[in-house]
A and B are shown apart, each in its own frame.
Chain A
Amino acid sequence: MLKIDNVSVFYGKIRALWDVCLRIGENEIVALIGANGAGKTTLLKAISGVIRVSSGSIELDGKRIDGYPPHKIVEMGIAHIPEGGRLFAEMSVKENLELGAFPIRAWKKKNHEIRNVLRIFPHLRETQLAKTLSGGERQMVAIARGLMSKPRICLFDEPSYGLAPVVVSEVMRVIRSLPNEGISVLLVEQNVHIALQVADRGYVLENGRIVLEGNSTELLQTELIKKAYLGM
């Protein structure tokens, strides 16, 4: 459903992505792995319209979406859950969730939807101020907030980063359940092991270029992954 073809992105004169091609199918979890600085976040920002692609195309269900501003992309059904969660620190959990439903269609159903997402994360307290949450709770609110717009594709930027192992498995359990709700996932991770456990397929990004792609099980067998990412 999401088709990325030959996408290149520049920061000024510096090229961050080189002709990146990537596909996400219906109800599929796709991992994007790569070292720090490889360009993973840049690709997510290009999809969600935060930065412009200088060449190539991004299509959602056959319709070009590159060039649209971020708020249009959200309305088209793509949610981007940024690195570190980026909650609105001075607002309560409830207000953060409400803002996730900002697109007018979602806004009308926001109270109903808040009850839904709180069922996924029963430990969250609506009235708690975001800045007082623990790191794990922050990530969970960020995910819940991303789901509030009823997206068809969720882009996750390193959701496991800096979290304790128990919390990571909780987060991954939720991500794995999304395809059952009709949501496809692009999961950006540095933690290759975790990413390929959850994902159906994966891509490896190095210095702005896709250098490898395949099924998760296949990828785990490749020399490149074993050597460079799993330290075997």
Chain B
Amino acid sequence: MVTFLNIFIGGLLMGGIYALVAAGLSIQYGVGRVLNIAHGEFLMVGALITWYLFTIYGISPLISLILIAFVFFFFGFLLDRSLFSRLRNISPSVAAFEANSLMACFGLQFVIQNIAIVIWGAELKGFSYMASPVNILGALFGANRLITLAYSLGIAGIFYLFLTKTRYGKAIRAASQDIFAANLMGINIKFVLSLCFAFGALLAGTAGALISMMYSIHTTMGMEYTVIALIVIVLGGLGSITGSMLGGLILGIVGSIVSYLEPGLTLVAYYMLFMILLLVRPTGLMGRGS
């Protein structure tokens, strides 16, 4: 029972974070067609800012998280307005835009990571925040892990409600299904696309803040999360934001089970799951058949 709880809560914990990271990439790619290879770098910057504010100024990670949410949203919005929306204007087709924006993201990844290395160096960093153990039915969990769990599921839940219940959430989902029709509904597509990139940056940044509360972090950690997010959005079905959230949770739980059995095989298990799913159900869990 204790092991089961450990695996299950550990799985939800990872899964909650994967859900955030993947939902962020999914909204950027599924709606905006920006395959944001630099997604993990946003997460890394979120993690390092949280670490920095905590170790230098003693600011609680939970406050940094809210700060990061606002700043990253704003910055993501500006980035879309200045970079991607221009690329959209000069690209003759959607395919050309995808290629152009992918190249831009490669560049962005390189720039962000190297600036981060200059500022923070490349060594491992970590801090201890509310690490005192909490006893749940005999299993011990760090309080920080339980808070992280609550936050990641909470953020995912709020984001889900935003997408399904609000005017602009519905507009984002409409645009992900049919941009032309969404435009005819009176939806300002340019604004919605910027909104999507902004939410993607927000989700990556807050996920980074949460990760920094549990694990050691470093300036080259981004790529791993980009890859995981890519796996999850294919798993969940390209273009389905809610599918990526579900895919993230599932991958987290699978990862937790596998790392209990053999920690070294976690990433291997992710790739295996990914390949099996591609063979069995190429459109993903909640993907649309073509």
Task: Tell me which residues from 162 to 208 in chain B have a Cβ below 8 Å from any Cβ of chain A.
Answer: 167, 170-171, 173-174, 177-178, 180-190
In the bound complex, residues from chain B placing their C-beta under 8 Å from that of A98 are 170
In the bound complex, residues from chain A placing their C-beta under 8 Å from that of B173 are 88, 90-91
From A50, which residue of chain B is reached at the shortest CB distance?
B183
A88 adjacent to B181 (CB under 8 Å): yes
In the bound complex, residues from chain B placing their C-beta under 8 Å from that of A80 are 184
Q: How many residues of B contact A (CB 8 A)?
A: 20
From A80, which residue of chain B is reached at the shortest CB distance?
B184
Asked whether B86 is an interface residue with its Cβ less than 8 Å from the other chain, the reply is no
Closest 10 CB pairs of A and B: A74-B186, A86-B181, A103-B186, A102-B186, A71-B188, A88-B177, A71-B186, A102-B185, A70-B183, A99-B185
Interface set of A (CB-CB < 8 Å, partner B) = 48, 50, 69-71, 74-75, 79-80, 82, 86-91, 95, 98-100, 102-103, 107, 145, 149
Once the chains are docked, how many angstroms separate the CA of A26 from the CA of B147?
Answer: 62
B174 adjacent to A88 (CB under 8 Å): yes
B186 adjacent to A89 (CB under 8 Å): no
From B181, which residue of chain A is reached at the shortest CB distance?
A86
Once the chains are docked, how many angstroms separate the CA of A89 from the CA of B288?
Answer: 9
- Residue from A50, A86, A87, A149 in contact with B186 in the complex, judged by beta carbons closer than 8 Å: A149
From B286, which residue of chain A is reached at the shortest CB distance?
A90
In the bound complex, residues from chain A placing their C-beta under 8 Å from that of B177 are 88-91
Once the chains are docked, how many angstroms separate the CA of A71 from the CA of B173?
Answer: 17
A99 adjacent to B182 (CB under 8 Å): yes
- Residue from A69, A88, A107, A145 in contact with B167 in the complex, judged by beta carbons closer than 8 Å: A107
Once the chains are docked, how many angstroms separate the CA of A99 from the CA of B168?
Answer: 10
Q: A88-B173, A90-B288 are in contact. Are A102 and B167 (CB under 8 A)?
A: yes
In the bound complex, residues from chain A placing their C-beta under 8 Å from that of B183 are 50, 70-71
Interface set of B (CB-CB < 8 Å, partner A) = 167, 170-171, 173-174, 177-178, 180-190, 240, 288
Once the chains are docked, how many angstroms separate the CA of A50 from the CA of B173?
Answer: 20
Q: List 13 A-B contacts (CB under 8 A).
A: A50-B180, A69-B190, A70-B186, A70-B189, A71-B189, A79-B184, A86-B184, A87-B178, A88-B173, A98-B170, A100-B185, A103-B186, A149-B186
In the bound complex, residues from chain A placing their C-beta under 8 Å from that of B182 are 88, 99
- Residue from B178, B180, B188, B240 in contact with A69 in the complex, judged by beta carbons closer than 8 Å: B188
Once the chains are docked, how many angstroms separate the CA of A215 from the CA of B128?
Answer: 81
A74 adjacent to B185 (CB under 8 Å): yes
Q: Give the distance to chain B from A15, nearest Cβ to Cβ, in Å.
A: 18
Q: Give the distance to chain B from A30, nearest Cβ to Cβ, in Å.
A: 20
Q: A70-B186, A74-B186, A75-B186 are in contact. Are A102 and B180 (CB under 8 A)?
A: no
In the bound complex, residues from chain B placing their C-beta under 8 Å from that of A87 are 178, 181
- Residue from B170, B189, B288 in contact with A95 in the complex, judged by beta carbons closer than 8 Å: B170
From A81, which residue of chain B is reached at the shortest CB distance?
B184
- Residue from A70, A74, A82, A99 in contact with B170 in the complex, judged by beta carbons closer than 8 Å: A99
Once the chains are docked, how many angstroms separate the CA of A74 from the CA of B173?
Answer: 19
- Residue from B167, B171, B184, B288 in contact with A70 in the complex, judged by beta carbons closer than 8 Å: B184
Q: A82-B180, A88-B177, A90-B288 are in contact. Are A71 and B187 (CB under 8 A)?
A: yes
Once the chains are docked, how many angstroms separate the CA of A107 from the CA of B171?
Answer: 12
The residue among A70, A91, A100 with the most chain B CB atoms within 10 A of its own CB is A70
A91 adjacent to B186 (CB under 8 Å): no
The residue among A69, A75, A88 with the most chain B CB atoms within 10 A of its own CB is A88
Q: Give the distance to chain B from A161, nearest Cβ to Cβ, in Å.
A: 16
The residue among A87, A90, A98, A149 with the most chain B CB atoms within 10 A of its own CB is A90
